[in-house]
Amino acid sequence: MDRNRIDIDGAKDYQRLVQQLAPKPNVARLTARAFLVGGTICFLGQFVFDWFRFRQPTEGEAIAATLATMILLGVVLTAFGIYDDIGQLGGMGAAVPITGFANAMASAAMDFRREGFVLGMAAKMFIIAGPVIVFGILAGILTGLLAWLAKAGP
């Protein structure tokens, strides 16, 4: 007990002890919940998608209308303080759909509004959504570049 700094063996040994004693996550239950919650949100999205498909001229516009509607749904559920409970229930099943993306933006905007609209709400709105956009754009450009080069190449 006479060490107060990490020595590597000690740290590894300790991590083994913690792993033995800490409750094991119930993998089956957590995964099943994520599946059900995520699946239900997508099922709902399909319903919205079909509704717009018969009312919009092109499929592209139907997709756009669907995404906007789902984002609105995510924000409304966040504003009423319901979406974090869905997150507690479904884990990644609530985070992965576009409603979770909307929740990330809205929850940050609501939370940091007290630090002002410019430095608070606007600046912090993208703390979780920002990385998704940044890496999405980087990956899109890189993939597009490779595909373009492959086509233009000899």
Partner 1 sequence: MIYFWAFVVGGLICAAAELVMIRFPRLTPGHLLVGLTVTGAVLNGFGWYDALIKFAGAGALIPVSGFGASITRGVLQETQKLGWEGLFTGTLEFVGLGIAAGVLFATLAALVAVPRG
Partner 2 sequence: MDAVTVQRLGQYTVQLSRPPRITAAFTLMGPREGAGPLGPYFDAIVEDYMWGEVSAERAERKYMEQAARRALAAAGLTEGDVDCFIAGDLLNQIVSSTFSARSLGIPYVGVFAACATSALGLALAAMLVDGGFARRALVATASHYQSVERQYRYPVELNIQRKDTNQYTATGGAAAVVAPPEEGTGPRITRVTLGRVVDWGVTDANDMGSAMAPAACDTLLRHFQDTNTTPGDYDLILTGDLAKVGSKVFRALVDRAGVTLGGKHMDGGASMYGDAEWPAAGASGSVCSMAVLLGYVYKEMAQGRFRRVLALPTGCLHSPTTWQQGDSCPGISHAIVLETD
Among 21, 105, 116, 123, binds partner 1 (CB under 8 A): 105
| 18/149 with CB nearer partner 2 | 18
114 burial type by CB count under 10 A (0-12 exposed, 13-18 middle, 19+ buried): exposed
From partner 1, partner 2, none, interface partner of 62 (C-beta below 5 to 8 A by class): none
Residues with Cβ within 8 Å of residue 114, at least 6 apart in sequence: 120
Residue with tokens 């669907």: 66
Query: Does 123 participate in binding partner 1 (rule CB under 8 A)?
Result: no
126 burial type by CB count under 10 A (0-12 exposed, 13-18 middle, 19+ buried): middle
User: Both tokens of residue 64?
Assistant: 């756009």
Binding site for partner 2 (CB under 8 A): 1, 4-6, 10-11, 14-15, 17-18, 21-23, 25, 30, 78, 81, 83-84, 86-88, 90-92, 94-95, 100, 103-104, 106-108, 110-112, 114, 124, 127-128
| 31/56 with CB nearer partner 2 | 31
Interaction residues for partner 1, span 22-41 (CB under 8 A)? 25, 27, 30-41
Radius of gyration of the chain (CA): 22
